[in-house]
Structure 1
């Protein structure tokens, strides 16, 4: 099979494809996929969407729509096609043959971004694990020399089939080694957590949808210099700092964790279990929300779903509606502190701007009251 990967994917003109299967919150503008593509260094030049009741088994979108995609790719000069949904290995292979272009999906895109952004030893191990797990299902698609070759008379396989098994075994061995190394990292984290518990440390973790401003808020609270940028997954590695709350007369442990996103690959959730463990073991979660995003309710729901998957759904939260500076002043809330109904649980909410500091002092006071064990004021439900 011809190698369809372009020689340089940086700034590669890319056609974005989304399929509406009738599920809620379909991104008809493919806005998030476009941001993901730009974050990975690609250049979205055209977008196309369609509706289907179910995926086509062979081409995901059906042959007619595949022909439309091929024509649009030619007209727009796209050298790669990117789907907003996950494709099966067979669908991916069939689409590449039909379109005569490299085809990738949202899962691979997120894996590539994580691979570019991971900095710590643990983060790199986690990304490599998820990448290998994804790759193991696509051996035939990725390497043409692994396709089954005919053997001699009476032979059903051949050297190609043996090569597939060899590569699959090599990937399996690497996955096993990485899991063992991650297990050691997890044990080290458990030791560190026990030390914090002996010091009676109060642990707070920042969680939220990617690009909600978690790292900016983290820096505003602890005066750290964690990397921040207006892009998806600007930072991946968990950072923990001590934060002194003068209002409570004590220090707390504050951790910034990786951002969540819609349709986060399950392999990444599993691979990042050690990192997300900071959220599981927290005494309090600061759930940071992009208050300026039209999809903030859907983003809150997605974060809650992932928290449920990792066993952190019952940890108390404070909702931090960030990016107040990006909201039209006429739309500002009358109160910067109130209570929000989060899945039937009245949850304290603070509006602030981590960028210019407005409302950060109020959040510190909320944290001090929580650390001191004082009840938070009932300021009225949202």
Structure 2
């Protein structure tokens, strides 16, 4: 018996240009997000507006155009690149006759699919509940508690809404309490590392910049890495031995950032992102082959500011040197780049080929020796890269 593969649901992508510099006219990132969540992109619609339409976000004329495109392509859903208010979402669904969702819920869906650890699942659950508390969501079965009755489109029944909202409020409270315990456990682990006079380094950067690949290359770990958005969500920490410094440091791989990362996710992932705020050094990984990397750097800086990590010293690691076109490759692989008025050391490398990794190790060792005294002759001499995780 031949098993037929399930056809992925198709979506129409919609983006509105309000004059912001980072507007993605081709909706490339939203398309990648949709594909990561398991959707097929059937069509794209963009338009320019001075301000969102209060009722339909895009106006009635553009809504009619979206409806015609969805009908002609057989799309089963519409995804907006910007966040919609609950009223706009409901009005659009009535106008289009299709489920309508936004970038925020799409990212929540991806995070729900990718979370593996107990902590990660708790964080996604909190963000999901906080989003649900403001609106009636009528799709994605894992976001719904029960189905409605006859005549409903598959979402929670109308008589169930208020009960669901009260239950959501109670669930938010319970999830926050459980996350608070996780936060205390992480704080205890950090204090233990501080007592061991450890030097803590955190990898941060835009999603799909190659953080996990660099992490694996440095510590010979087997963290999942793939050419996709949000390949990993859970923080992983390992020991990195630096021969030039004669000691080991703690290296953590954190969740990737993205433009317009929902505030609920930033708040929910506070326990994980605290690793970056408490680090002695941040390795800010940048996809050097992406022409939009300046905007991506600013998006990461904004999230670092939100979590209180913008004061931590950084090294800009411009990854994917092997993917850069020959005419765009830098003459010098080490220099500085001004970010928010501060000159930040920059290093070009390729986690895939290993080019530039020795220079990064040397730079890290230099930073460690500037902060901590070298270990005496009786200290450890064995490379502990293959050791057990710290967390």
> TM-score normalised to the size of structure 1?
0.90
Cα pair 1:9 1:41 within 8 Å, conserved: no
**Equivalent of 1:12, from 9, 19, 28?**
9
Q: CA deviation at 1:353?
A: 0.3
Cα pair 1:11 1:42 within 8 Å, conserved: yes
* Superposition map of 1:241-252 within 5 A: 241-252=238-249
2-side partners of 1:144 and 1:91: how far apart?
A: 23
- Find the counterpart in structure 2 of residue 284 from structure 1: 281
Aligned length: 354
1:9–1:132 Cα change, 3 Å: farther
**Equivalent of 1:369, from 366, 369, 373?**
366
- Find the counterpart in structure 1 of residue 64 from structure 2: 67
Query: 5+ unaligned residues in a row in structure 1: which ranges?
Result: 1-7, 147-158, 375-382
2-side partners of 1:184 and 1:117: how far apart?
A: 22
RMSD: 1.7
Secondary structure of the structure 1 residue equivalent to 2:239: strand
1:212–1:140 Cα change, 3 Å: closer
- Find the counterpart in structure 2 of residue 305 from structure 1: 302
Cα pair 2:108 2:128 within 8 Å, conserved: yes
**Equivalent of 1:123, from 120, 124, 135?**
120
Give yes or no for the alignment of 1:199 onto 2:196: yes
- Find the counterpart in structure 1 of residue 223 from structure 2: 226
Cα pair 1:140 1:164 within 8 Å, conserved: no
Secondary structure of the structure 1 residue equivalent to 2:176: helix
- Find the counterpart in structure 2 of residue 97 from structure 1: 94
Deviations 1:57-77 (A, max 9, x none): 111111110000000111111
Q: CA deviation at 1:346?
A: 1.3
* Superposition map of 1:255-294 within 5 A: 255-294=252-291
Q: CA deviation at 1:96?
A: 0.8
Cα pair 2:316 2:344 within 8 Å, conserved: yes
1-side partners of 2:344 and 2:358: how far apart?
A: 19
1:303–1:329 Cα change, 3 Å: same
- Find the counterpart in structure 1 of residue 169 from structure 2: 172
1:23–1:10 Cα change, 3 Å: farther
- Find the counterpart in structure 1 of residue 312 from structure 2: 315
- Find the counterpart in structure 1 of residue 329 from structure 2: 332
Q: CA deviation at 1:145?
A: 5.2
Cα pair 1:139 1:168 within 8 Å, conserved: no
**Equivalent of 2:184, from 172, 187, 211?**
187
Cα pair 1:9 1:42 within 8 Å, conserved: no
Cα pair 2:245 2:366 within 8 Å, conserved: yes
> TM-score normalised to the size of structure 2?
0.88
Cα pair 2:254 2:273 within 8 Å, conserved: yes
Give yes or no for the alignment of 1:80 onto 2:58: no
1-side partners of 2:57 and 2:276: how far apart?
A: 36
1:76–1:160 Cα change, 3 Å: closer
Cα pair 2:315 2:345 within 8 Å, conserved: yes
2-side partners of 1:113 and 1:94: how far apart?
A: 25
Deviations 1:134-190 (A, max 9, x none): 0111137678959xxxxxxxxxxxx966x4332111000111000000000000000
1-side partners of 2:7 and 2:235: how far apart?
A: 27
1-side partners of 2:333 and 2:107: how far apart?
A: 35
Q: CA deviation at 1:236?
A: 0.4
Q: CA deviation at 1:362?
A: 0.4
Secondary structure of the structure 1 residue equivalent to 2:282: strand
1-side partners of 2:223 and 2:279: how far apart?
A: 20
Secondary structure of the structure 1 residue equivalent to 2:61: helix
2-side partners of 1:144 and 1:88: how far apart?
A: 23
Query: 5+ unaligned residues in a row in structure 2: which ranges?
Result: 140-145, 150-156, 372-391
Cα pair 2:99 2:138 within 8 Å, conserved: no
2-side partners of 1:321 and 1:164: how far apart?
A: 48
Deviations 1:201-234 (A, max 9, x none): 0000000000000000000000000000000000
